[in-house]
Structure 1
Amino acid sequence: MQKISEVMSSDVQTISPDATIEEAAQEMRDGDFGLLPVGDEEQLLGVITDRDIAIRAVAEGRGPSTPVSEIMSEGVIWAHEDDSIEEAAEIMSDNQIRRLPVVNAEQRLVGIVSLGDFAVDASDIGPVADALTEISNPS
Structure 2
Amino acid sequence: MPQSKTQNLIVLFWQWYYAIAPKKILKTWRNVLSFGWNFFSIGLLFKTLFAPWKRDITKSTSGFDPKAWLESLVMNLISRLIGAFVRGWVILLGLFFEIIILIFGVLFFLGWLIFPALIVIGIIYAVIMIG
Q: Report the TM-score, using the length of structure 2 for normalisation.
A: 0.26
The structure in which a higher percent of residues are strand is: 1
Larger radius of gyration: 2
The structure in which a higher percent of residues are helix is: 2
